[in-house]
Amino acid sequence: MDTLTVSSLRPRDRSRHAAPQVFEHLREAILALTLAPGTVLNRLTLQKEFGLSSTPIRDALLKLQEEGLVEIFPQHATVVSPIDLTLAHQAHFLRRSLELEIVRSLALAPDQRLIARLQGFLAQQQALMEAGDFEAFAAADQDFHQHLYEAAQMQELWVLVRSRSGHIDRLRRLHLPTPGKAQNIVHHHRLIVQAITDGKPTEAQQHLRDHLSGTLVHVDEIKAKYPGYIRS
């Protein structure tokens, strides 16, 4: 198992509460695969890195455990969990169910201000794709979908989806560098935005279905390429 290196984390913002920051930084590193499945998270190392006592570190790790992103072995070690395909499928089901209704509602009442903002996201994603910046591209992809929830006044549901999506998000991150994958994401986003613009809810839903299923259909290929990362 790999061991966490101090340099892989960013320093703590001392103007904010400690435990949520440790959680956010570790979660971000896990989803980006900077902390790959099997990485050991040493509590003493984390305390030194963040300049904290054991309590906020423990609280952050417990929250990561709640999301299934780490496995805590008492008196032994905390390890970044493998990608669980059952949890990935459940997260996909949840997200697809919610977003189908969200894009339908947005297409039933097209808002030009929303469409302009979505076009801005598309331009950003296009630039990041061309630059080959997959980490920033993945973040921009999340921002695009989060904005759909906010536009539909469903912000709290995005928080729910995010808390359940660690496994499917890591699977997507593994798949992202595959040639043509980023292009397909941008293409589907454009189709979704166009359907919302044209006031076509059924088309918006179909494009969303195609978009969200783009990784799970390639699970066997991803497992073959990263056999130690995934648990069926």
Q: What is the CATH number of the domain that holds 134?
A: 1.20.120.530
- Domain range for 178 is 84-231
- Of 56, 81, 106, which one is at a domain's C-terminal end? 81
pLDDT of res. 41: 96
Residue 83 burial (CB < 10 Å; 0-12/13-18/19+)?
A: buried
Pair 98, 209 in one domain? yes
Those residues with Cβ within 8 angstroms of residue 144's Cβ, 6 or more apart along the chain or in another chain: 118, 121, 122, 125, 189
If asked whether residues 138 and 217 sit together in one domain, one would say yes
95 in the same domain as 73: no
Pairwise CA distance, residues 192 & 203, whole Å = 8
User: Alpha-carbon distance 5 to 133, whole Å?
Assistant: 23
Q: Which amino acid is at 53?
A: S
> For residue 90, what are its two tokens?
């459940």
77 with 99, same domain: the answer is no
- Asked which of 54, 81, 108 is the last residue of a domain, the reply is 81
At 13 the pLDDT is 59
Measure the CA–CA gap between 176 and 156, rounded to whole angstroms: 27
226 and 119 in a single domain? The answer is yes
DSSP strand E in the chain: where? 70-73, 77-80, 83-84, 230-231
Clarify whether residues 184 and 72 are in a common domain: no
Q: Record the pTM.
A: 0.89
pLDDT of residue 75: 80
Q: What angle do CA 87, 92, 97 make, to 5 degrees?
A: 130
Residue 211 belongs to a domain: yes
Query: Do 192 and 151 contact (CB within 8 A), yes or no?
Result: no
Positions in the chain short of pLDDT 50: 6-8
pLDDT at 6: 43
Point out the domain boundary residue: 66, 81, 96.
81
Domain count, the chain: 2
176 phi and psi angles, rounded to 5 deg: -55, -45
d(CA 157, CA 98): 8
- Asked if residue 142 and residue 157 are part of one domain, the reply reads yes
Do 68 and 175 sit in the same domain of this protein? no
Specify if 1 maps to a domain. Answer: no
**Would you say residue 177 lies in a domain?**
yes
37 and 63: one domain?
A: yes
10: left (phi over 0), alpha (psi -120 to 50) or beta: beta
Within this chain, do residues 150 and 185 fall inside the same structural domain, yes or no?
yes
Same domain, 65 and 158: no
Considering the domain architecture, whether residues 223 and 111 belong to the same structural domain is answered as yes
Answer whether residue 145 is part of any domain. Answer: yes
